[in-house]
Chain A
Amino acid sequence: MAITDISHRKRFLAQGNVYLPHIVVIEKIIEETSGVRTFHINFKDDKLREEFTFESGQFGEYSVFGVGEAPFCISSSPTRRDHFEFAIQQVGKVTNALHRLGVGAEIGFRGPYGNGFPLDLLEGKNLVFVGGGIGLAPLRSLIWNVLDNRDKYQRIDIIYGARSPSDLCFRYDLDAWDKDKAVNMVITVDKGDESWSGRVGLVPHVLEQVAPAADNAVAIVCGPPIMIRFTFPVLVKLGFTPEQMLTTLEKRMKCGIGKCGRCNIGNLYVCRDGPVFTYAQINSFISSEY
């Protein structure tokens, strides 16, 4: 596989330096679960606020100056541009620092980076979204993108699960999609609690039960690696070909632009040639290190 041509991607450079972040301000913080927060942010610079755009599936490098920088996908849709969003789980130095910030705090943003979901592949198709935990974040950008252009797409199934009811993220979205008659929303948890009256079951199992048709369909999967590993075989069983399955991969990243070397899978860089890949591409990866 030769290296991908990315010359067409939009760039928003600060002072001509790809490594220099723009200043963005936190406008709203939503506590999704006890360790997961969504941040609504906006550029401090008016012109950039107007011009900035991105594709669903792309990510940014967010800085807490003095602490560090980390990559997170943009979880809002490019069809809704009054602000943009990202969602994070508290797992390390930068995410801990972000969780300590309040509304009005300034952070850095570089991006958008990565390849985004191929909308042309999805148009006119039935879409099956399969998400787990915070893996819904990149999917959510695409889901709202699709719903905002509803007539371009056919049937929509969303299968989403979390470890427990308290781990369900983006409940406001889940409610909205549940109420949407043009969407089949299926919510599940690995393990219920006293208040839970909904489905219980691991996402791959629930997917098998729901059994969406593979004909003229594309599946977009995102969640913890173990969920993805068990979901792909189910989709294959349901008749999806490897070209009909998309996912977005995660790696430790620093530069986000394919230079620092660390996010590679074989000759491809997840930040530059991904993070969105089809299952067919994953199968042809030189390396099993993903």
Chain B
Amino acid sequence: MDSKKVNKKDIGKLLSQWSKEFTVFVPSKENGVAMMAGWDGTDTSFLDWYRNTVIPPKEHFLPPMEEMFRFQKDKGSYQLEQPASDGQKQLIFAIRPCDANALAILDMTFKDAYEDPYYLSRRKNKLLVGLGCINPYDSCFCTSLGSSPSDVANVDLMLTDIGDEFLIEGITDAGKELIARTSGLEETTEADDARAKEVKEASYHKVTRRIDTGDIGSKLLSCFEDEDYWGKVAAKCISCGICTLLCPTCYCFDISDELVKQQGTRFRCWDSCAFPIYTKMPMENPREEKWRRVRQKVCHKYEFYPMNFGVIACTGCGRCIRLCPVNWDISQTLNSLPAKT
């Protein structure tokens, strides 16, 4: 593990260096709302407050809205124009393991069968610099999903907070190459490496919320038709989209057109299975009732996605629990599924 380290006071210098090659995104606050936004070139105060963002980094790969293409109407004839490919290299600094793992989960859908050009081109041009968590929220439960606050599975580089410094590990080839061409990094001592190991182990145990995911797919299958149970589970849900829109592994989207005079755009934007009209057809709506929509959300993540791709579509980031207006808690639901009949 030939790792390096950088003093926290020198993060600004590090980011400046990287800014020459990449557009750097760092945790930022807009009216108190944490999100990954373009670095302004000087401010590193996020080191004081950053735990995790409200808006997940998925917004840089699957934005809340994007133009799919434009069209020009010319006397009943149409010319279609694709948006210019961004092509710019970007670096997301301090992404948490749960959010990085979420991107790997999204990849499975967007690569499957027909490749999604918009998502995949954004994915290609980004470097992920992970930051291990030392202060998980009480809503976090990544450790129940085969991950941990120091999981390096889907980042290019990993930073570990060892006090006054960050330990830096290169994980992928791209990450190792970046470290190789970054100046101002120090070699780590044995004490540093030991400290990092200590920090990683300690942070694992700081995650207190747990879900029993053993056999969860078949547990959900066996209670699928239990309208009574799901009715109780769904009772306090208000069908807003917060849990799904701000979930790093949710990806449902809507497509809509706009035409103003002779020019128009086809947009793709975030959508949610929680919305009543999500599945509405002219003559019927299979999910008119709220309990069906709540059931769909839980089962899609913990039963259907694993059936299709072999992985639970949840990374335990806890945003859904933290931000739900009525404190609907998926961990409570999953931990109290009726026993298999």
Contact = CB atoms under 8 A, between A and B. Distances in A.
Interface of A: 1-3, 6-7, 11, 14-21, 23, 63-69, 91-92, 104-106, 108, 224-225, 250-252, 254-255, 257-264, 266-267, 272, 286-290
B256 A272 contact: no
Nearest to B306: A267
A65 B259 contact: yes
A19 B264 contact: no
28 contacts: A1-B307, A6-B113, A16-B117, A17-B82, A18-B114, A19-B68, A19-B116, A19-B268, A20-B80, A21-B80, A23-B78, A64-B257, A65-B266, A66-B71, A66-B257, A66-B258, A69-B266, A106-B78, A225-B284, A251-B281, A254-B253, A255-B255, A259-B112, A261-B273, A262-B252, A266-B304, A286-B304, A289-B287
Interface in B214-235: 221, 224-225
A65 B281 contact: no
A65 B273 contact: no
B93 interface: no
Interface string B105-134: 000011011111110000000000000000
Contacts of A104: 76
Nearest to B252: A261
Closest 7 pairs between A and B when the two form their complex, measured CB to CB: A66-B259, A267-B304, A91-B282, A261-B252, A267-B307, A3-B308, A289-B286
Given A267-B303, A286-B224, A18 B117 contact: yes
Given A65-B259, A255-B253, 6 more contacts: A6-B113, A68-B257, A69-B266, A251-B281, A254-B253, A261-B273
Given A66-B264, A261-B273, A262-B278, A290 B286 contact: yes
A286 B304 CA distance: 9
A281 B114 CA distance: 24
Interface centre among B68, B257, B258, B300 (most CB of A within 10 A): B257
B177 to A, nearest CB: 29
Nearest to A261: B252
Given A65-B71, A262-B279, A267-B303, A106 B76 contact: yes
Nearest to B292: A289
Contacts of A264: 296, 300, 304
Contact of B82 (A15, A105, A252): A15
Nearest to A67: B257
Interface centre among B77, B78, B280 (most CB of A within 10 A): B78
Contacts of A67: 257, 259
Chain B binding site: helix, strand, loop or mixed by DSSP? mixed
Contact of B273 (A23, A64, A262, A290): A262
A276 to B, nearest CB: 17
B307 A257 contact: no
Chain A binding site: helix, strand, loop or mixed by DSSP? loop
A100 to B, nearest CB: 12
A254 B78 contact: no
B197 interface: no
B312 to A, nearest CB: 13
Nearest to B275: A262
Interface string B294-324: 0010011001110111000000000000000
A264 B252 CA distance: 11
Contacts of B112: 3, 258-259
Nearest to B309: A3
B217 to A, nearest CB: 10
B251 interface: yes
A185 B116 CA distance: 45
A286 B252 CA distance: 20
Contacts of B304: 264, 266-267, 286
Given A6-B113, A69-B257, A252-B279, A259 B82 contact: no
Nearest to A66: B259
Contacts of A254: 253-255
B271 to A, nearest CB: 7
B9 interface: no
Given A23-B78, A251-B281, A267-B303, A260 B110 contact: no
Contact of A65 (B73, B252, B282, B284): B73
B137 interface: no
B22 interface: no
A65 B308 contact: no
B341 to A, nearest CB: 16
Contacts of B33: none
Contacts of A286: 221, 224, 299, 303-304
Contacts of A91: 282-283
Nearest to B119: A259
Interface centre among A108, A257, A259, A290 (most CB of B within 10 A): A259
A259 B307 contact: no
A7 B80 CA distance: 27
B73 A66 contact: yes
B204 interface: no
A168 B258 CA distance: 35
Contacts of A252: 278-281
A272 B279 contact: no
A66 B305 CA distance: 33
B61 interface: no
